[in-house]
Structure 1
Amino acid sequence: MPRTIMLIPIGSGVGVTSVSLGMVRALERQGVAVNFFKPIAQPRSGDVGPERSTATLRNASALNPPEPFAMKYAENLISSSRTSELLENIVERFRQGTKESDVIIVEGLVPTDKHQFANEINYSIAKALGAEMVFVTHPNNDTSQQLKERIEIAVSSFGGKNNQRIAGCIINKVGAPSDESEQYRPDLTEMFEGAHDSLNSNLEVLQMFSKSPLPILGCIPWSSELIAPRVVDLATHLHAKILNKGDLNTRRLQRVTFCARSIPNMLEHFKAGSMLVTSGDRSDVIIAACLAVMNGMKIGCLLLTGDYTPEAEVMKLCARAMESGLPILLINSNTWQTAQRLQNFNMEIPVDDIERIEKVQEYIAGHVDKHWLKTLTGDSSLSRRLSPPAFRYHLTELARKNSQRIVLPEGEEPRTIQAALICAQRGIAKPVLLGNPEEIHRVATQQGIVLTDDVEIINPDDVIEDYVAPMVELRKSKGLTEVVAREQLRDTVVLGTMMLAEGEVSGLVSGALNTTANTIRPALQLIKTAPGANLVSSIFFMLLPDQVLVYGDCAINPDPSAEQLADIAIQSADSAIAFGIDPKVAMISYSTGTSGVGSDVDKVREATKIAQQRRPDLLIDGPLQYDAAVMENVAKSKAPDSPVAGKATVFIFPDLNTGNTTYKAVQRSANLISIGPMLQGMRKPVNDLSRGALVDDIVYTIALTAIQATQAMDKAIANV
């Protein structure tokens, strides 16, 4: 029987939509079929498009929530004493739109001056849907006693403490900033340089765990990163003219600085993520900001006021800064008017800001009580597939269990530095950056981040000599000399590989700058294959909207024999199991079953038989065409007796040409995330990155590597 959870906001500004997003993600992490329903749309001032919560989830996930009823329609029925008709319609739409769901998150109305009936109708909807109620609130500047009383008053309107349908409450925005009068500020003012920056720590909220009349199911700290808007959002709000587009759609703003002083007194405020606001005729500020950009400082944008377009000579001097991506905006208001307009900026997440939606979902999901979540999903009877959020969460949770030391040879590369800090902060791994410490800290500062002591930095010049003799010993059969070894160790990938060979780190991740060959060659020479492994192969984890598939081999073996193809299939199935994916292995070919002939399809047919004989415990079938492997309706006609066709989760391609082309075609055409290549068959884990890897790609590859390291250690212990 599906479970329905209704989130009911206690007052305005509690962030109920963000909590809804996080709850959906938290349940996706559990691998359950979750859906969302906002019964009645509640447009904010200025909204002209579809209902915000529903549209946000549609854009950012594979969910297709039912359409909410228009507020005007609901108001008309309520005012004409036809509330029961409204509730019947809500129940009908709810049931039709959420049939295949384990858990449904329902978002209630926010009580406002315009919608004073919100609590009454929320309670009626909860009862009509048979929903368990979770109240959402924020501390504002209440003491724990005041917050307790506020929750009690709210509970009394929903049947009181004895109502068994009240599950608990979630406290959001703990520690949110307040102004001089100690009032909570849901606007951009906390971004203003020099504004009152003391945060209401809400330490008393911690006392709520003993005082609260309800179980506290989540306590979500305030995070300024979650409110960082894109430059394009502020440009739209200000109706700004774009003088230079640059990274308008992707750069985020962490702070706002009004440049009214002389240049020497302003330089300390030129920081990564800053919106620098100055009059358009302040050529000195414009040029100084552009110089900072050309020296690596990733300033958010320049906002020029007064409708003063900079002179052509000034823009020419700034050409290189603009080419690097610096957005430059022009507005006609003065500084005072601009400050007022910024304070009126809507801080809610735009429905098309997928990156920010993802951050909010992951952050809030991480602060919802896990034990309570398990009570929602423990008795689920519907079939489950490992969704991308569930897979990513599974990765990080597995990696955290044994925080492994992972070396990152490209230690001066900006994305790698950011990923190292994230991994250290989240406990995914103990990252080791190889590079010049001064350069690493300089690059970090330009990215607007501060490296903590949890990120280890090793200067290669200080340690190269420690690995010359061990490397000569490892390669003595190849005639390696000390001179050549010392020269090769100047390559940080080789140095990192030697650290791995010597057992000083547990894994290596490279490839943001280096080619696949440069990453893998030292590993093949110095690490070698694992006991019992006949070859090294690779897989990609393909994160489709509603499940994760495994593709192999797409990076290493150009034209494997039937024996090698069987090895790749078995390695890939074992990797799938290790990462929580139920392996149904499809051996891909241009022909299904016995319908085709030729050396290529014969190789796949033979490889299938070998793999089945070696591992009868695995579901392996082939040859199968891709459509027969993945589509149930095609499988019924082409391979009706196959245990794999139409349900495949692991796809083994006949050669590198097919595998690499297919993975890139699927990745780019479907605009989905792929993690890998993850190498299989190595004695110790070494993993390659795409040179176009995003920071998140690097983080999850580090997590994969850490998990592989733990599994390798467990196998070694078991074999002793």
Structure 2
Amino acid sequence: MTRSVYVTGIGRGDGRQVVELGVMELLTRQVGRVGVFRPLMHEGPDRMFDLLRSRYRLAQDQATAYGMRYEEAAALQAEEGRDGLTSRLVDRFHRVAGEYEAVLVLGSDFAETNLPSELGVNARLANEFGASVLPVVGGIDQSAESVANEVRNAHHAYTNLGCDVIAVIANRVAAEAATEAAGRLHRGLPVPAYVLPEEPALSAPTVAQIAETLGAEVLLGDHAGMARDVMNFVFGGAMLPTFIKALTPGCMVIMPGDRADLLIGSLAAHSAGAPPIAGIVLTLDERPGPEIMALAARLAPGTPVLSVPAGSFPTAADLFALEGKLGAASPRKAETALGLFEKHVDTEELTRRISVGRSERVTPMMFEHTLIERARSGRRRVVLPEGTEERILHAAEVLLRRNVCDLILLGDEDVIRRRAGELGISLDVPACTITDPQTSPLRELFAKIYAKLRAHRGVSYELAYDVVADVSYFGTLMVQEGLADGMVSGAVHSTAATIRPAFEIIKTDKQSGAAIVSSVFFMCLADKVLVYGDCAINPDPDAEQLADIAIQSAATAARFGVEPRVAMLSYSTGTSGSGADVDKVRKATELVRERRPDLLVEGPIQYDAAVDADVAATKLPGSEVAGKATVLIFPDLNTGNNTYKAVQRSANAVAVGPVLQGLRKPVNDLSRGALVSDIVNTVAITAIQAQGEPG
């Protein structure tokens, strides 16, 4: 039976989209096919459905996600009563439920719906859908006592109407009242109650939303600039020295269009990172000349400058009523919302109460969610040497907003902060530190350590002092000395530049039995995750090395939830072929069996026989690995690298890696074409590796 969760409320302004997003995250960790159903809808675009569809790659046709419009529902209820309305909506719900393993139901929003007893309608629908209910209570401008009372009232209201309430969440509670409210709710309810504090970044509109609301003309600004959150407004009228002091991080500056001095001063302050502003609105339909605008573009590339015909007062009136909204156009808010949800909700407990059985299939999204969840569970600190690189900064923002791990960014602090400001990214959080290897007091210590390690190679202190200023060497030494738990690099550096310092400083983990350092890719196909090794490090391993790669790869697979069934790949299967290459694979297979008799391993075996059950039945009948291999070991780098890229492109697979194995401490390489999501996944993997063997 399809398991459904009905997220609803008791009134307006509860900001329940945060909870809807959080519950969707929990559902997609458990099952591969999740549907969305909104029984009642308003006219116009549905930002929440668009966000869920884009973020979670839903294939669901939008038309199937809706029951009916509020106007239609009110008319139908007036004509046929609640039974008639309910019957129609239940029928439409079951059309969706029949197609999915779980369904997230988005309750009505209590906003100008003209629907009598709206809470009762939601409760009746939830019961008829067979859905568990998760009520959300708004806590804006309420005391801790009032919030606790509202939560209890919501629980009673829905349980008295026969609903299966699995938890209650209070949202948008003032920070100073949140802790007390949570304490009051810790006892006295038969279900968990969670309190989410107000998060200013979620209610902050983006520059793009402001431009749309004001009907502004965009004079300057790129996509990243338009996506910045606007934390407050500063109105320009004073002389420049006084005005500059009033600027605050993330502010939108509103000024008359003929104040070129304030325009240039604001952008110069932004460029210096003191402070980074969100953008500028020029009023009164006045615009500086082309020379001033050209200077503005050079001072702060990407920073939005908008123009509106109205004066400051009517512009302010429109802006003060504007609130940010979650949607597909604001993915950064989604990361903030998920971070807030996961920080204040016991997601493990809530997942148990939702009671969605974990699917046997592992989809790419399920695998990625699991990485984030496991990394967060044992928080570690990861150093990112490429601190000025745009993709690294965007990935850092995601990791920090989701509370995945602590980060150390390496590079010139002024350059990093300026670049982050241009991208609208705030690094002013305790979980993120910035270190410049050129000026850090650690440089002298690291030079002594490196000179001692490499003395047999004739490395002097003076040479070491220069070497350790390189971000890759500096980051590796931070890991070696326990100042960071792992390192991720390679977005702009070569593989050699990333792993050479690790070979020299961290070295092979002899205690684990590893003889060499190797790598794997996690290949996330449509319905399963395979492990490919070695596709990045060893060009032509001999039989001993190939056996070592296989054993390491099996251990890595098991560490990340993939049951290892190892296929030692060759161009022939079983005893059908001969030659040096086949003999190497055959010997490596024998060595694996000798060293790890507990491992399921088959080889030599061709790729099709390894993964296709029908082919396996013909070529290797009765094999415990053939047709269902999960760890595929390639005979050489040429074969492995080309195969992973071919599968990645032709099967639209997500390739996570390369993940290095065999080092004493985790250092991982990135492809220079890595996407932000690739970087996030690799950092999460590194954090998990740094947690040590699972207990």
Q: What TM-score results when the alignment is normalised by the length of structure 1?
A: 0.79
User: Residue 441 and residue 293 in structure 1: after superposition, are their counterparts in 2 closer, same or farther (change >3 A)?
Assistant: closer
Secondary structure of the structure 2 residue equivalent to 1:318: helix
Secondary structure of the structure 2 residue equivalent to 1:87: helix
Match of 2:667 among 680, 686, 694: 686
> Partner residue of 1:196?
none
> Partner residue of 1:527?
506
User: Residue 692 and residue 211 in structure 1: after superposition, are their counterparts in 2 closer, same or farther (change >3 A)?
Assistant: same
Render the CA deviation track for 1:531-553: whole Å, top value 9, x for unaligned: 13232112234566776554433
Render the CA deviation track for 1:172-214: whole Å, top value 9, x for unaligned: 1111xxxxxxxxxxxxxxxxxxxxxxx7745552354157656
> Partner residue of 2:56?
61
Match of 2:362 among 381, 385, 404: 385
> Partner residue of 1:711?
692
Render the CA deviation track for 1:84-103: whole Å, top value 9, x for unaligned: 45434444443443347565
User: Residue 288 and residue 655 in structure 1: after superposition, are their counterparts in 2 closer, same or farther (change >3 A)?
Assistant: farther
Match of 2:197 among 199, 208, 221: 221
> Partner residue of 1:77?
76
- In the TM superposition, 1:349-364 aligns within 5 A as 349-364=326-341
Render the CA deviation track for 1:379-430: whole Å, top value 9, x for unaligned: 83753536535644545545653x5565555567787688779878987656
- Check the 8 A contact 2:4/2:102 in 1, yes or no: yes
Render the CA deviation track for 1:39-85: whole Å, top value 9, x for unaligned: 41322xxx523x44433322211445552212254344322216445
Tell me, in whole angstroms, the C-alpha distance in 2 between the residues paired with 1:374 and 1:261.
54
> Partner residue of 1:484?
463
Secondary structure of the structure 1 residue equivalent to 2:302: coil
Aligned partner letter, 1:494: Y
- 1:273 paired with 2:250, answer yes
User: Residue 552 and residue 480 in structure 1: after superposition, are their counterparts in 2 closer, same or farther (change >3 A)?
Assistant: same
Aligned partner letter, 1:676: G
> Partner residue of 1:174?
173
> Partner residue of 1:516?
495
- 1:471 paired with 2:450, answer yes
- Check the 8 A contact 2:143/2:177 in 1, yes or no: no
Match of 1:315 among 256, 268, 293: 293
Runs of 5+ consecutive residues of structure 2 not aligned to the other structure: none
Tell me, in whole angstroms, the C-alpha distance in 2 between the residues paired with 1:214 and 1:654.
58
- Check the 8 A contact 2:339/2:403 in 1, yes or no: no
> Partner residue of 1:35?
34
Tell me, in whole angstroms, the C-alpha distance in 1 between the residues paired with 2:434 and 2:264.
37
User: Residue 650 and residue 10 in structure 1: after superposition, are their counterparts in 2 closer, same or farther (change >3 A)?
Assistant: farther
Secondary structure of the structure 2 residue equivalent to 1:521: helix
How far does residue 25 in structure 1 lie from its aligned partner after superposition?
A: 0.9
Secondary structure of the structure 2 residue equivalent to 1:684: coil
Match of 1:238 among 214, 219, 225: 214
Render the CA deviation track for 1:243-272: whole Å, top value 9, x for unaligned: 234235763123233223222122234455
Root mean square deviation, CA, Å: 4.4
User: Residue 268 and residue 517 in structure 1: after superposition, are their counterparts in 2 closer, same or farther (change >3 A)?
Assistant: farther
- In the TM superposition, 1:461-610 aligns within 5 A as 462-501=441-480, 506-531=485-510, 532-542=513-523, 548-561=529-542, 563-585=544-566
- Check the 8 A contact 2:371/2:685 in 1, yes or no: no
Runs of 5+ consecutive residues of structure 1 not aligned to the other structure: 176-198, 716-720
- Check the 8 A contact 1:167/1:214 in 2, yes or no: no
Secondary structure of the structure 2 residue equivalent to 1:165: coil
How far does residue 136 in structure 1 lie from its aligned partner after superposition?
A: 1.1
Aligned partner letter, 2:441: D
Aligned partner letter, 1:69: G
- In the TM superposition, 1:82-93 aligns within 5 A as 83-93=82-92
Tell me, in whole angstroms, the C-alpha distance in 2 between the residues paired with 1:481 and 1:643.
55
Tell me, in whole angstroms, the C-alpha distance in 2 between the residues paired with 1:2 and 1:212.
31
Render the CA deviation track for 1:132-154: whole Å, top value 9, x for unaligned: 32221112333445445545555
Tell me, in whole angstroms, the C-alpha distance in 2 between the residues paired with 1:643 and 1:326.
59
Tell me, in whole angstroms, the C-alpha distance in 2 between the residues paired with 1:227 and 1:642.
58
Secondary structure of the structure 1 residue equivalent to 2:202: helix
Aligned partner letter, 2:65: E
Render the CA deviation track for 1:83-133: whole Å, top value 9, x for unaligned: 445434444443443347565432221234423342232122122122232
User: Which range moved further: 215-224 or 263-272?
Assistant: 263-272
Tell me, in whole angstroms, the C-alpha distance in 2 between the residues paired with 1:440 and 1:588.
45
User: Which range moved further: 163-172 or 460-469?
Assistant: 460-469
> Partner residue of 1:187?
none
Render the CA deviation track for 1:561-583: whole Å, top value 9, x for unaligned: 45544433332221121122333
How far does residue 697 in structure 1 lie from its aligned partner after superposition?
A: 5.5
How far does residue 658 in structure 1 lie from its aligned partner after superposition?
A: 5.0
Secondary structure of the structure 2 residue equivalent to 1:268: helix
- Check the 8 A contact 1:2/1:380 in 2, yes or no: no
Render the CA deviation track for 1:473-518: whole Å, top value 9, x for unaligned: 4334433344433432333433443454456654334335533212
User: Which range moved further: 549-558 or 585-594?
Assistant: 585-594
- 1:368 paired with 2:345, answer yes
- 1:209 paired with 2:185, answer yes
- Check the 8 A contact 2:254/2:280 in 1, yes or no: yes
Tell me, in whole angstroms, the C-alpha distance in 1 between the residues paired with 2:257 and 2:106.
45
User: Residue 499 and residue 355 in structure 1: after superposition, are their counterparts in 2 closer, same or farther (change >3 A)?
Assistant: closer
Q: What TM-score results when the alignment is normalised by the length of structure 2?
A: 0.82
Tell me, in whole angstroms, the C-alpha distance in 2 between the residues paired with 1:637 and 1:344.
69
Tell me, in whole angstroms, the C-alpha distance in 2 between the residues paired with 1:310 and 1:703.
47
Secondary structure of the structure 2 residue equivalent to 1:11: coil
Aligned partner letter, 2:78: S
Aligned partner letter, 1:487: D
Match of 2:44 among 45, 48, 69: 48
Secondary structure of the structure 1 residue equivalent to 2:350: helix
- Check the 8 A contact 1:23/1:368 in 2, yes or no: no
> Partner residue of 2:129?
129
